[in-house]
Structure 1
Amino acid sequence: MSSENNPQPIRELVLNVFATNGRLVDSGNKLVHGIGLTTAWWQVLGALGYSPVPLPVAHIARNMGLTRQAVQRVVELLAERGFVTLEPNPHHQRAKLVVITRHGRAALTAAESAAAAVDRMALERIGADRVAIASAVLAELREVLVQVLGLPPDSNLAGNSQGKDEE
């Protein structure tokens, strides 16, 4: 059997992604605990902080591979603490836009500063070219999952971020 027909490398990749995700969550919690965040809160703030426009909960969830209900709960907690606000969405009456506040942006900056040493070490060890390849491979794998399983596609953060038919 040719290597292209052997699913084992994909199984190994998936298992490594699962294991790495667990480590990312644990290390993220450790890194941002002193800032008053959790990994989940950091993840949502990051989705908002890197988006050129405010996003509804459904878009954040889709972009981050999370359930809408989980993101809704995190957004509610972030709003209670002043990290985000909810504003009217001109494209959808019920799907409010989640907007990162100055306080939220400061927390995101602090989280990224807390992770900077780990980021630098990983980049030195792995190399920018290999990181770019890994990122591209994971993006392609997501596209395959969308296509084969009929999952909703990732939102285009720069373009389709406030569609009328969302949420």
Structure 2
Amino acid sequence: MSREQQDALSRTALGVFRLNGQFLAVSEKLAEPAGLTAAWWQVLGAVLPEPLPVAGIARVMGITRQSVQRIADLLVREGLAAYEPNPAHRRAKLLTPTEAGRAAVRRIDPGHAELAALLMRELGGQEAFDETVRVLERLSTAMDTVNASYQEPPSHG
């Protein structure tokens, strides 16, 4: 690997880490008035289209199953989600939002829409926004491929 490639990798990783922090900070602000945290919102958002097992939510979100399990249990305890039987797997129940959970996410929609419009304008329009999304999705897909085949670098010692 050339020094230029290493620098590009470092800049990419640092940029993504910074973006993650920025998205988490703004997500906390958006979620708070709805009585949610950013993490609760993420997990609820993952199951809005269809109920999923905890392991499936973890895969979609790219975090550990244990982290999702903890949040899912809190959401169920707060009445924002419920576990239901999973016909495909007896022990891995499906998490589904309750009406209260869906209502909480709907309360975030106006702020979410405003943020999307602000970000779109800052990026220079919808076309630039769409291209940003495509690049990030391509990066994520490439990282999935790299992670699946990655070998530890040789040790020099």
Which residue is 1:105 aligned to? 102
Match of 1:41 in 2: 40
Is 1:128 the counterpart of 2:133? The answer is no
The answer on whether the counterparts of 1:56 and 1:98 sit within 8 Å (CA) in structure 2 is: yes
Give the equivalent residue in structure 2 for 1:23.
Answer: 22
Query: How far apart, CA to CA, are the structure 2 residues paired with 1:92 and 1:42?
Result: 25
What stretches of structure 1 move > 4 A for 4+ residues in a row?
none
Q: Is the contact between residue 34 and residue 105 of structure 2 (CA under 8 Å) also seen in structure 1?
A: no
Q: Does 1:86 align with 2:83?
A: yes
Q: Give 3-state SS (helix, strand or coil) of 1:95's partner.
A: coil
Residue 70 of structure 2 corresponds to residue 73 of structure 1: yes
Amino acid across the alignment from 1:103: A
Query: When the two structures are superposed, what TM-score results if normalisation uses the length of structure 2?
Result: 0.84
After TM superposition, the structure 1 stretch with the greater mean CA deviation from structure 2, 95-104 or 125-134, is 125-134
Contact 1:123/1:131 (CA < 8 Å) preserved in 2?
A: yes
| Aligned residues with identical type, % of pairs | 40
- Aligned pair count? 148
Structure 2: segments with no counterpart, 5+ residues: 150-157
CA distance, structure 2, for counterparts of residue 82 and residue 17 of structure 1: 33
Aligned CA-pair RMSD: 2.1
| Greater share of helix | 2
Question: What is the distance in 1 between the residues matched to 2:33 and 2:53?
Answer: 28
Asked if the contact 1:42/1:111 (under 8 Å) is kept, the reply is: no
Contact 2:84 2:93 in 1 (8 A): yes
2:142: which partner in 1? 144
Segments of structure 1 that go 5 or more residues without pairing to the other structure are 152-167
Task: Give yes or no for contact 1:54–1:97 (8 Å, CA) kept in 2.
Answer: yes
In the alignment, is the contact (CA less than 8 A) between 1:60 and 1:71 conserved in 2?
yes
Over residues 1-52 of structure 1, what are the superposed CA-to-partner deviations in whole Å (9 max), with x where a residue is unaligned?
Answer: x9xx734334323211110111111221122212210000011111112x3x
